[in-house]
Amino acid sequence: MSQNTFPDGFLWGVATSSQQIEGGRHEGGRGESIWDRFATVPGKIADGSNPDIACDHYRLWRNDIAIMKGLGLGAYRFSIAWPRIQPTGRGAANLAGLDFYDKLVDGLLAAGLEPYPTLYHWDLPQSLQDTGGWAARDTAEAFADYAAIVARRLGDRVKRWTTHNEPWCAATLGYEEGHHAPGHLSPAEGLAAAHHLMLSHGWACEAVRREAPGAELGIVLIHSPAHPATGSAGDIDAARWFDGFFNRWYLDPIFRGAYPADAIADRTANGQLDGGAMPFVKDGDLKAISTPLEFLGVNYYSRVVMRAGANGKPEAVPPPKVPSLTDMGWEVYPAGLEETLLRIHREYAPPVMYVTENGAAYDEPMDADGRIDDQRRIDYLRGHLASCARAAAQGVPLKGYFLWSLLDNFEWGFGYTKKFGLYAVDPQDGRRIPKQSASWYRDVVAANAVTD
Ligand code: IFM
C-alpha cells in the first residue's frame, strides 16, 4: 500500500447534470428539452423511463447541498438547464428558472462549496431542435445569448464557468449515431453539430467575460486514450484514427486553432467531407473557438483498444487480457487517466486542469441492515485517484477532482439502470441512501490523500 498525497488546496467535488437529476419537468415555467421529447419515443430509453422526476433535485436541492457539505467537499459541478432559463431557447429570461439557480448558488456558497456550473449538458430546448438544433449555426448564436443571461444573473458569485460538457457526445451520439437525443443518423449533421458546439463555446466565453469580468472559463472534454491491439501498422493507424475522431477533433481547434489535418483526411477518405471542404466553418470561427481558456475539464472513464478490421476499417476490440468491466461494459483502466493528463499537459498545456468527471457504474444490492457495499466502486476510484496524484506529482497543473456522481441518476438511453452514485435514490420518496463509497470518499477528502 502506498500513500498518494494531493497538492495543498486540491479541490474535491462531485459532478451532476440538470437533466439527469433535477426532475421538476413542468415546474417554474421550464420548457421542453430534446431529452424530454426523446424519452417519449418508444424504445429509446432502455427501461422505458423518463427524466420527468429523476432524483427530484429540483425539490430536494437543499438536502443535496447538506450531503455534500457532510462529505467535506469544496466544490460542486452542476449544469444549468437551458429550457429553465429560456423555455424555447430564445427571448426573454424566465425569472423562475434563474431564481432556482440563484438560490442554489447562494446555498452552495453558504455551505462553503464553490459552484462550478456547466452551461450545457445536453438539454437543448426542443424548440431550437425544431429549427435544426446544433446542426444549425443559429443555435450557436442563441447559446451565446443564453450564456449572457445566466452570467448576468450569477456572475457576481460564480467565478468559474464551463461552457459545454463532452461536445463529442452531443454531436456524435446525438446527430450521427442516434443513441442520444435528438436521435439522428446523419454524419453530415454530426460534423456540423460538432463545429457549432465549439463555435458556441467560443462565443459563450466572450459573452460570459463581458457580463462577468474576471470570470474564469473552461470547457469539459471526454478523453479516451486509444491503444493499438497489436504492433501492426494497421492497428497503430486505427488507434491514430480514433484519437483524431474522438480526442483531437476537439482539443486541436480549442488549443491550436485548427482541425487536425490527419482527421480531416480520414473524413475525406470515407466520404464525409468533399475534398476536405468544411463549408460550415466560416471566417473567424477558429479564432473564436481557440479563445484562451483559464482551465480545461477532463472527463475520463476508460481507454479504447483499436485494430484495423478485415476491410481496413478501424474498429474497437475488447482489451487484450480479460479486464474488469463496469456495468457500462467499460474496462477499468486507471493508468489511462494518468496517461491522459500527462498527454494533454505535454501536447496542449492548458494552464489549469480539473478532472471534471470520473466514476463507475455498479449495481450493488442493499443488505438486510440497509448497507450498500460498493467495494468495486471504491477500488475503481482508488486506482483512478492514485493516477491523478501521480500526474500531479509529475507537474500536471491538476487542481481538482469531481467524482461522477453524487446520486444514482438518469443515465440517458440507459434510463435508471446504470448506477454511478455515491448515494442510491429511493424511487418512492427520493430518499438518498449512502453507499460505502460515500464515507470512503469523505475520508479521502479529509486526508487529501488516497492509499493504493
Ligand atoms: O452520465 C454521463 C454524463 O452525463 C456525461 N459523462 C459520462 C457520464 C457516464 O456515462
Q: Is 33 in the pocket of ligand 1 (CB under 6 A)?
A: no
- Residue 166 annotated as catalytic: yes
Check whether 80 has a pLDDT greater than 80. yes
Task: State whether the beta carbon of 299 lies less than 6 angstroms from ligand 1.
Answer: yes
Kindly state the average pLDDT of the residues 202-227. Answer: 98
Element (H, E) at 127: helix 126-130
In whole angstroms, what is the distance from residue 125 CA to residue 34 CA? Answer: 6
Rounded mean pLDDT of the chain?
A: 98
pLDDT for 322: 75
Average pLDDT over residues 101-130: 99
Q: Give every CB contact of residue 337 below 8 A, 6+ residues apart in sequence.
A: 300, 355, 358, 384, 387, 388, 391
Domain 3-241+277-447 fold is: TIM Barrel (3.20.20)
pTM over 0.95: yes
> Is the minimum distance from the CB of 17 to ligand 1 under 6 angstroms?
yes
Confidence (pLDDT) at 84: 98
Output the nine-digit C-alpha cell for 451: 492509499
Please tell me the predicted confidence (pLDDT) of residue 245.
Answer: 96
Specify the ligand 1 atom closest to the Cα of 411.
1
Best CA proximity match to 35, nearest among 17, 15, 61, 60: 17
Query: d(Cα 231, Cα 234) in Å, to the nearest integer?
Result: 8
pLDDT of 150 higher than 80: yes
Mark whether 347 is an active-site residue.
no
The torsion region of residue 325 among left (phi > 0), alpha (psi -120 to 50) and beta comes to beta
For ligand 1, atom 2: residue with the closest CA: 411
* pLDDT tens per residue, range 405-421: 999 999 999 999 999 99
Residue with cell 466565453: 205
Tell me the one-letter amino acid at 31: G
Query: Is ligand 1 within 6 A of the CB of residue 166?
Result: yes
Ramachandran sector of residue 329 (left: φ over 0; alpha: ψ -120 to 50; beta: rest): left
How many Å lie between the centroid of ligand 1 and the Cα of residue 411? Answer: 7
Kindly tell me the burial class for residue 152, based on how many C-beta atoms sit within 10 Å of its own C-beta (0-12, 13-18, 19 or more).
Answer: middle
